[in-house]
Amino acid sequence: MLKNDLVDTIREKALWMRRRAFTMVYDAQLGHPGGDFSAIDIIATLYFGVMRYDPKKPDMPERDRFIMSKGHATGALYTALCAAGYYPEDWLKTYMQPQSKLNGHPNRNYLPGVETNTGPLGHGLPVALGIAIAGQMTNSDYRTFVLTGDGELQEGSNWEAAMSAGNRKLGKFTLIVDRNRLQQGMGTEETNGLDPLDDKFRAFGWDVEVVDGHDVGALVNALSEPPGGRSKPLCIIANTIKGKGVSFMENKASWHHGVPNAEQYDIAMEELV
């Protein structure tokens, strides 16, 4: 596909994901819409512009892997997997209902396409690291992508994995940090600051790229493998806006797990076009 067409396709999918995820949150009156919306452009770019997978063969050994470490953002993950063809749209209507496969945090035993169970922060990067090490051991050429929140990086387990990934020179390993600068209660920098985040990863032996996490073209470029591949793991710091796309949600910590009333739902649907 031509680059411009690809960008348009990804944008279209991302818009559908935002509308669908917001509807799921509205119907369930539960969810994490702020973190869904900061991550959607990144996840849409991965699934509709970068990753190799076959939804009919979710266990295919050579598939690229995506690990959703910020497991609370299920609105983003579940809509992506649905749009990618892993399951029918009907399933989305069961979000958080009794005995639903669409639990508040993803469960690999319930849903095809989910690589591992997440929800407690700081688990995705170590598991993804193991997947990448397995790929290196078996000379496979699949790539492993993991998305973490920025607040999530306050968990020490991430830095244990980061150190190990750097030492092992895992060129097929990519971490994307959803750098929306907010966590649950307030800003990351007023809680336990992360800056300078790029220098931290460089010091741990990673390549680092900083991109606008809502610029799909820039994301495609950053996420695509350069000719000849890489000799270090890559950390993409994606600068994002929590709640991106809905005026009253943008940059508001209260929308971490806020849910819309009927009026807010209507406004959001008017804005998401």
Q: What is the SS3 assignment for 34?
A: helix
Q: What is the SS3 assignment for 236?
A: strand
Q: With beta carbons less than 8 A apart as the criterion, state whether 9 and 40 touch.
A: no
Q: What is the SS3 assignment for 188?
A: helix
The answer to whether residue 184 forms part of the interface with ligand TPP (CB under 6 A) is yes
Q: Which amino acid is at 271?
A: E
Q: How large is the angle between the packed helices 33-45 and 3-28, nearest 10 degrees? A: 150
The answer to whether residue 35 forms part of the interface with ligand TPP (CB under 6 A) is yes
The answer to whether residue 72 forms part of the interface with ligand TPP (CB under 6 A) is yes
Residue of the chain from 19, 168, 200, 257 that contacts other proteins (CB under 8 A) = 257
Q: How far is the CB of 38 from other proteins (least distance, A)?
A: 16
Does residue 228 come out as left (phi exceeding 0), alpha (psi in the -120 to 50 range) or beta? Answer: left
With CB under 5 to 8 Å by kind, the binding choice for 180 among other proteins, ligand TPP, none is: ligand TPP
Q: How large is the angle between the packed helices 33-45 and 74-83, nearest 10 degrees? A: 30
Q: How far is the CB of 182 from other proteins (least distance, A)?
A: 11
Rounded CA separation 112/124 (Å): 17
Rg (CA), the chain: 17
**Contact pattern from residue 162 through residue 201 relative to other proteins, giving x for each residue in contact according to CB under 8 A and a dash for the rest:** ---------------------xxx--x--xx---------
Q: Nearer to other proteins by C-beta: 107 or 251?
A: 107
The answer to whether residue 31 forms part of the interface with ligand TPP (CB under 6 A) is no
The answer to whether residue 191 forms part of the interface with ligand TPP (CB under 6 A) is no
Residues that bind ligand TPP (CB under 6 A): 32, 35, 38, 70, 72-73, 119-122, 149-152, 178, 180, 182-184, 242, 256
